Chains A and B, each alone.
Chain A
Amino acid sequence: MRAFIIRRLIQMILTMVVLMTILFFMFRVLPGDPTTSLLDAALPVEAQNAVLHQFGLDKPLSEQYKIYMVNLAHGEFGISFNTREPVSNVIMDKLWNTLFLMGFSVGLALLIGIFGGAIVAWYRGTTFEAVAVSVVLFFRSSPVFWIGMMALSVFSYKLGWFPIGGMHEPGQNLVTFRERYLNLEFLHHLILPGLVGASYYIANPLLIMRSSTIEVMEDDFIEMARAKGLSERTILFRHAMRNSMLPVVTQVALLIGFAIGGQVLVETVFNWPGIGREIVTAIQLNDYPVAQATFFMMGVLVIVLNFLTDLVYGVLDPRVTYK
């Protein structure tokens, strides 16, 4: 087991290294001179060169690469070209915002998907099943930002049930963790974007759970449970679901990768201050320290969550042992 973990860790680090190398060179090829946001052309040449030197942009590419990699290993992300703040300040807050929203959406999608999938499988062949599958597929086929726009139009503008966007009412200066996240106002702002995200992610878990449950219900041990006289409901929720849940867990890795992309869109529509929205603005402004760092964070998130999912799967399924 330990060997497995070590091997996976090495693999993860290798993947990140390759990823960030590709990223480094891609950003250096980006059109639009980042120095234009750094420098004022009216500055005298020495001052311009001094700024370039400060940001290390006058060194040869190979040197920049080495410094970049070493910094990354230390968690030193550099200084934003735009706001002149250390990038870590900028992203760390936003990372939490994204984690909360993504956690809520993915968690809700998994919960409803797993239970819903089992229930839909139970009602196999009825209109309920056809309707449920169609609704789920509808949301999966719709652009999530479109659903978000319509949700805003109906629930926020016309009905006024939810705020129009953002994470808090503007104009507040919230510092502590509790002030920002552990209150009702945050929850109020979280619900609509969370639901929109969940509606987008729910299709895969639900459909996989459904087909998996249908297969499991034909297994011998289910026959045995029926022979013992257990009710259908007990059989479904206590015996079948535990086994049919497993394929869904393997798909969670894919779901998370999918969710990171979805986050970018949901955060943009709802003006949620997370790393998804951040990377969009950073690329637009050619602020490549921030763009690199957010991309890095996203990659790390996907890879770490995948790893955790594999571990959870090992716990859930006693037949699986990792060597």
Chain B
Amino acid sequence: MTVREIFRLLIKDKLGAIGIGILLFFIILAILAPFISPYDPTIENFRADGSFARMDPPSLQHLLGTTRMGRDVLSQVIAGTRVALYVGLTSAVMVTLIGTVIGLVSAYFGGWVDDLLMRFTDIVYGVPFLPFTMILVAILGPSIWNIIFAIILISWRTTARVIRAEVLTLKERTFIQAAKLTGASHRRIIFHHLAPNILPLSLVYSSLAMGWAILTEASISFLGYGDPFLMSWGKILFDAYVAQAINDAWWWVVPPGLAITLLVMSGFFVSRSLEEVLNPRLRRL
């Protein structure tokens, strides 16, 4: 299917259209962040009478209010968009790449390669996800790269499992058998025949991986292990929790969480639409 056809099918499903819309909205927000952000997210602001703008409710000057340190919440949320998309998209790409390759290789070559890789995947499955990430970040340091590394290390297993199952069924199909009979090399079969057919499935799981990565980074930041130099949505919530602002400053707590929810939901909607592209039976006519 051409890209245009895929795109058109994606838009047809209402939820898919909403998902792509939200995603585009955040991407544009992230690109334009330094230009549309009303204040610098890290500086403390002051009110007209010269007092510290601490925990101000939403007003015309500060559309989403201020934090306990007098920082503008809206600017922080806009700045957080960049981090979220960075983590989300990078992780999604890497997880899909690694997961797909491992799943492909494992299923295609079978035998001891398959056994080894699947045992390895099983062990990774037994690792409690969040504690492991905390330990890794505690060892390697709280930089955003280490967080992404930890996320990738744990998340590739789902994609690998799924791709492997798909390739196992594809392997038995006649067109692959025919290719083998006519003497196609492994490389040709893998890249020319198998890959285009598993690509849509990979894309489905990459949108899911994006959501998962964003949630994990937010959780890590909330527990205090986030990158101290980056303003991520999870970090905003961490600040709010530590300042015990839950009761007093709803404007500080609601927007970052809502932003996370919307972005992750868009990932779910897009993946659902991609599934319908893949599987014509699921489409509503």
Contact = CB atoms under 8 A, between A and B. Distances in A.
Interface size class for chain A? 35 or more
Contact of B246 (A23, A26, A157, A291): A157
Interface in B226-248: 234, 237, 240-241, 246-247
Given A258-B129, A298-B131, 19 more contacts: A15-B122, A19-B127, A30-B135, A140-B268, A141-B215, A143-B222, A143-B234, A143-B237, A152-B246, A153-B253, A257-B128, A260-B129, A260-B131, A261-B128, A265-B130, A268-B222, A283-B138, A299-B128, A306-B126
Given A146-B253, A265-B219, A141 B131 contact: no
A31 interface: yes
Interface string B79-105: 000000000000000000000000000
A303 B253 contact: no
A268 B223 contact: yes
Interface residues of B, number: 41
A145 interface: yes
Contacts of A302: 126, 128
Interface stretch (B23-31, B40-48, B54-62, B257-265): B257-265
Contacts of A11: 122
A146 B260 contact: yes
A23 B139 CA distance: 11
Nearest to B222: A145
Interface of A: 11, 15-16, 18-19, 23, 26-27, 29-31, 137-138, 140-143, 145-147, 149-150, 152-153, 157-158, 257-258, 260-261, 264-265, 268-269, 279-280, 283-284, 291, 294-295, 298-299, 302-303, 306
Interface of B: 122-123, 125-132, 134-136, 138-139, 141, 211, 215, 218-219, 222-224, 234, 237, 240-241, 246-247, 250, 253-254, 256-257, 260-262, 264-265, 267-268
A149 B237 contact: yes
A19 B126 contact: yes
Contacts of A26: 135-136, 139
28 contacts: A15-B122, A18-B123, A19-B127, A141-B211, A141-B262, A142-B257, A143-B219, A143-B222, A143-B234, A143-B261, A145-B219, A145-B222, A145-B237, A146-B237, A146-B260, A149-B241, A153-B246, A257-B126, A257-B129, A260-B129, A260-B131, A261-B129, A261-B131, A264-B130, A265-B223, A279-B134, A280-B223, A299-B126
A247 B246 CA distance: 39
A140 B222 CA distance: 17
A200 B129 CA distance: 16
A291 B139 CA distance: 13
Contacts of B250: 153
Contacts of B254: 150
A283 B133 CA distance: 11
A268 B257 CA distance: 17
Nearest to B224: A284
Nearest to B234: A143
Contact of A264 (B223, B256, B265): B223
Contacts of A257: 125-126, 128-129
Given A19-B123, A137-B268, A141-B211, A149 B138 contact: no
Majority DSSP secondary structure for residues of B touching A: helix
Nearest to B219: A265
A158 B128 CA distance: 35
The 7 nearest A-B residue pairs measured at CB = A146-B257, A141-B264, A261-B130, A141-B265, A298-B128, A142-B261, A157-B247
Contacts of A29: 139
A143 B123 contact: no
B132 to A, nearest CB: 8
A280 B134 CA distance: 8
Contacts of A18: 123
B13 to A, nearest CB: 12
**Which interface residue of A138, A142, A280 has the most chain B CB atoms within 10 A?**
A142
A27 B135 contact: yes
Contact of A138 (B131, B136, B234, B261): B261
A193 to B, nearest CB: 14
A306 B123 CA distance: 13
Contacts of B241: 145, 149, 269
Nearest to A158: B247
A265 B250 CA distance: 20
B272 to A, nearest CB: 9
Contacts of B125: 257
A153 B128 contact: no
Contacts of B222: 143, 145, 265, 268
A146 B218 CA distance: 10
